[in-house]
A and B are shown apart, each in its own frame.
Chain A
């Protein structure tokens, strides 16, 4: 039997997989990327927005050549109840600084392009094949199994996403993932004229809006709603933590329908055409719930390594995927030069991660998952916002109390102690 051996086999052709492949191929290694979808991106989904700093040094002219939808110039965050919505909208030139911008992307288009860059650099890509298992000899991962076929490599990179089964088989994911560490995302894509999008979302041509909603969209459960503007379509969806969802009274479909029907959202997608519906899992455990990231002959990157930050007002997975891919590639290139692919040799991966924005930011946001479990953020506080602003803006001719006393009255109703506690906790989490 001829054993065709590669330097590296990458399982998964998403963002983490493609960037790892790209960097390894550039360094002259023989690398193959195996993607289960018919093309990279076929099985991926994002809201969503990519922070482009991660491509600095990897794809220098990223802003010019990447197939992005729009550059985010409006950051919007809302607190929504069934009948009200309070939004703040931040726009600034600072959002557009080179190397610091963020872009709205569609994965079917973006991932495919990224995989092509890897192939151009010399990586091989195999699509439509699901890697079902790993070949482990003497405790060392040395290849993959797909159907009846086996393929060997010095190192296997697990880039197979949030629902990776292989991290468990590789001994990296020791404990089963709990429903608290996973969120379910569902999204609909609405086709809408470019100019209409710009008019409704108050954007200059090419500009985009990133918008997150707390409260009503997730039915009061931990999670949120989101709207992102693409070039000629609008992405709209919700994310809900799986643990809460198990006991939910409404289905994902019902939550999406009521989000779309909200008076603050409906006019935005009026006259648009639904062209796509997708769902995906998000690994949200945070820093405290990370699996082991490497072992003999194997490393995990991106969503498979649970490198995702959901801090409510910001959701990051793609830039962390790229960062982890860069660290993994560097570690593997170094390991190759020594001809040593043991756990000890590959530990360089973790060290590089720790020194990079990936772990720095994972640590910084580590308190968020706990904080976000606070139901008040999704129930009481949006209602409080509604109360306060109704008190401020609704004018009915009756004697007017001072603004301070109106606010204080509402706050007191919700429990001043809780409010104070949450504020302090929120600030310390930030």
Chain B
């Protein structure tokens, strides 16, 4: 089974700093694999097959250590599409490029994480399925594959449906579906030898997709002035209670 895993490279949120004008600065921010995509990589390994990883992004996301990290977790090869136009791409732009790349690489099953660590829109994987015209299921908390079919447990807010679908298909996984493994020495060493294919949008034969969302601003929220009435010591618990008892209305 040819499995394609989509991974997003994002900034380490703890490194993001706030500028005086409340804008965000990524200057000191390290890049990392979006946590939720690690579940997708792990699931691919558990299902077993010919696993390829795919990532798209702006040129700033081109990072040797990240590529090695991704390859040390199970995929046999990695495809990267980088282009200036993809910096800060919206979900539709991303899905469009992923679809073009997926068609070029070929797949039986595409696995995605639930959402990405930055916006957590939980949209891209589903859009990808729709654009490719194949069955797409999201919020999948259990997944097995056999004989050209998948059986997925889709966990919605109030119920669980067990769904059967033929391959090819796109599946978006929940973050509690599995525990991503920690790569060992040998995995990390082997990662350096695996093939990485780099494509531009021209290689995919597509033009930069249109922007579909107008981002007006990205600002840190205005901090509310807080009272900061703080007591010290376990023995002051009653004092705390006295402070808050009128504030808490059950």
Contacts and interface: CB of A to CB of B under 8 A. Distances in A.
Contacts, number: 26
A128 B187 CA distance: 12
A126 interface: yes
A39 B65 contact: yes
B185 A146 contact: yes
A149 B184 contact: yes
A172 interface: no
Contacts of B192: 124
Given A149-B184, A151-B186, 11 more contacts: A4-B186, A4-B189, A32-B189, A39-B65, A124-B192, A126-B185, A126-B188, A128-B188, A129-B188, A147-B184, A149-B185
B188 A127 contact: yes
A304 interface: no
Contacts of A270: none
A277 to B, nearest CB: 15
Interface in A1-50: 4, 32, 34, 39
Contacts of A32: 189
B189 A126 contact: yes
Contacts of B189: 4, 32, 124, 126
Contacts of B184: 129, 146-149
A128 B65 CA distance: 12
A34 B189 CA distance: 10
A128 B188 CA distance: 10
Contacts of A147: 184
A149 B189 CA distance: 12
Contacts of B186: 4, 149, 151
Interface in B20-47: none
Interface string B1-24: 000000000000000000000000
A151 B185 contact: yes
A111 B186 CA distance: 23
Interface in B183-229: 183-186, 188-189, 192
Interface string B111-144: 0000000000000000000000000000000000
6 contacts: A4-B189, A39-B65, A126-B185, A126-B188, A127-B188, A146-B185
A384 B48 CA distance: 75
B193 to A, nearest CB: 10
Contacts of A34: 185
A39 B66 CA distance: 12
A129 B69 CA distance: 13
Contacts of A39: 65
B11 to A, nearest CB: 15
A39 B63 CA distance: 14
A34 to B, nearest CB: 7
Interface string A347-373: 000000000000000000000000000
A126 B188 CA distance: 6
A395 to B, nearest CB: 46
Interface string A149-176: 1010000000000000000000000000
B19 to A, nearest CB: 13
Interface in A97-132: 124, 126-129
A119 to B, nearest CB: 9
Nearest to A6: B189
- The 9 residue pairs across chains A and B that have the minimum distance between CB atoms: A126-B188, A149-B184, A149-B185, A129-B185, A126-B185, A146-B185, A151-B185, A124-B189, A149-B186
Nearest to A34: B185
A39 B185 CA distance: 14
A368 to B, nearest CB: 38
Interface string A178-198: 000000000000000000000
A149 B181 CA distance: 14
Nearest to A146: B185
A148 B65 CA distance: 24
A151 B189 CA distance: 11
A148 B192 CA distance: 21
B12 to A, nearest CB: 11
A281 to B, nearest CB: 25
Nearest to A145: B185
B27 to A, nearest CB: 11
A126 B185 CA distance: 7
Contacts of B183: 128
A126 B192 CA distance: 10
Contacts of A146: 184-185
Contacts of B188: 126-129
Contacts of A149: 184-186
Contacts of A129: 184-185, 188
A39 B65 CA distance: 9
A122 to B, nearest CB: 11
A147 B183 CA distance: 11
Contacts of B185: 34, 126, 129, 146, 149, 151
A71 B186 CA distance: 40
B68 to A, nearest CB: 9
Interface in B143-201: 183-186, 188-189, 192
B26 to A, nearest CB: 16
A146 B182 CA distance: 12
Nearest to A39: B65
A30 to B, nearest CB: 11
A32 B191 CA distance: 14
